[in-house]
Structure 1
Amino acid sequence: RRFQLVLIENGKPNAFVSGDGSTIKTGLVVLITASLVDLGMPREQLLAIIAHELEHAIGLHVVSSVADGLQRFYAAGATDEPLGFEQDDDLTVRTFALDWIEYARNAGHLSDVELGGLPLEGDLGDAFQAIVEQRGCTSTLEPLHAAIKARSNPLDRSVSIDAATASQIVTVMNKLRTDCFAGEQDDAIELVADHFDVGASSVRGSLSAEYRAGIEGKDFITGIDHWVKLDRAALREIEQGYAQAIGQPWSRLRYFSTEEAADDSSVYTMRAGGFVADTLGRILPSLSKVEAECRPLVDGNDLAIPYGEDLTDDHHGTCWRAGHVKRIAQRATPRMIAPAFVPSIDRPKRLFPRRDDRISH
């Protein structure tokens, strides 16, 4: 089959492949936005990005069962950074990670208690933003979002919330309650279910009594605040439980993913083409606008490069990826990925439906 490269006029700088999970098929096609080409990067850097995407297509990474089967979860030591494709899957690490990911998909990856019940990301964050927009109240949220962004770490997407910002969160939530949702009859379960076009009764039935007690019959802001606070508390409990069980902090949890596999593959593709093997790692930080913060860590072979706090994102932290690609390029022998043993673990059913299509980028 002949490989095809498709240029898309609209969209931010990006490249991706798409497939149909129901038929377990993907096209040998890489889609690339014109805005990425317009950045004017050297040819070899664009080729490295395309090589990454080709691995997604050839490896059927857009098929959920393939992507899930490729994953392996493990703990990095305090002073080492193992290569993911060489690791065995650790059932204990997997259990903690997947439990955490389910809560994070709902409430976002930030578990900081200082954030209170402010929805920022995840399904609840998406619904909250849309519901607030419908009532014309985004101007109330925008200064708060800007304040939180100013206190975020671009290398790992963590935040450091000070007392003033924590107080601002409380003030904004109270203002939304009185100015935007006064007289609203539906509770948070009903409004969020309506946003995702699912039955409120099914969402209500999936929540524990502890959740329902703080949501049912309460105003929207009180309910969503309670919902997110409980989810964030669950995230913190999992993080603490992991540290006690494994003997390493949560920040040392790792998992091999399709994105990491595609990064690895780009090294061997570029080397075979006569290019610098770690070209992808040299362009990623600048694309994500973290070059100044990241490059000294990569050049210094720093094993403490932040992995990225959002484990729902298979890419991992951009700077960590750059350092990882460099370490792969320094290997004298090609990688050999052994089949992963994937334990059968019953996962909690996601409250809100996933999209049928899957995209890897």
Structure 2
Amino acid sequence: MSNGSTNGGASAPGGAPANATDADRARWRRYLADERAEGAVYRELAARKEGEEREILLALAAAEGRHEAHWLALLGGDDAGIPRADLRTRTLAALARRFGSIFVLALAQRAEGRSPYSTDPHATPAMAADERIHGEVVRGLAARGRRRLAGTFRAAVFGANDGLVSNLALVLGIGATGVPAPVVLFTGIAGLLAGALSMGAGEYVSVRSQRELLEASAPDPTAREALADLDIDANELALVYRARGMDSDEAIEQAALSIARVQAAGASVAPTDAIPTFEHDDEALGTGLSAAVSSFCFFAAGALIPVLPWIFGMAGVSAILTAAVLVGVALLATGATVGVLSGASPLKRALRQLGIGLGAAAVTYGLGLAFGTTIA
């Protein structure tokens, strides 16, 4: 698409509007730097991909190149004094070179959604529209990665968060009663092992049960053997299609077509797609074993953090405060990671995680104080 014309009195690609100010030119240089950096991000990602995803990323890079050309034209071709791209874009570029694309695409999704072009008088409507559509393209690419890691990632995040919160609550509640430090330490270790084993077993049963429910909805492969002998006028196959969610007319049409295919081919067994099934995403569901291992390991890793002060010989209030600080930092990290991958605000998700986790621990600490006073 052409991005040559501009709003607000901007000239054609030959140069800047007559009324352009120094502030305008500074802003164009900043946009130019950002477009170049964003194009580099997409090219870096494309270099790690193949097939359709690579083509899509290169097309996005080409679109950023068109935007770059627009700002360069307004500057009269003079790219001297171009500043560095903003910190967000430079961070994306660094991540694209070093890490997996899912994190970069999730960040890029948010970045495309914050484009200033819709309110800038020197950006074309086509450029503003490009940026909005780019956000949806990146969202689609990021969704592929999210589906691939959804099962194990869910288990990992829930496992780590549960380990952090439950074991912090446990050791703080026990520690507040005034028991000796070794008791708090062994209580925390027992909570770590019990919780990790429970999480792993529970996640395995959950995923296996979900898979078994889906498998129970799959068509019986032997039922296809009966299709060749069905009465095409009565067409009982239509009832199968209706049971699977089609409306009556569509079901009758589709069933008649399936039977006609079987009879025309003279086949005794219908094609595998003759009886419909419910769609489900195996990648998103994950496997029971991988989910169980992720839950066990991440719960154990999370649950270890609150126990560290007692492992290193601390006791009393200093150990409790240290554990709370360590867990607080870890909760911020897990919350921010969830925020990045979900395309939401990392800060909001981090603070939400922190508030919930420390709030739960504070309740058990208060109960521990109450019980300690009662016992004393």
Between Structure 1 and Structure 2, the one with more strand by share is 1
Name which one, 1 or 2, has greater alpha-carbon Rg.
Answer: 2
The TM-score bracket by the shorter chain reads: under 0.3
Larger RCO (CA within 8 A; separation ≥ 6): 1
With normalisation by structure 1, the TM-score equals 0.24
Between Structure 1 and Structure 2, the one with more helix by share is 2
With normalisation by structure 2, the TM-score equals 0.23
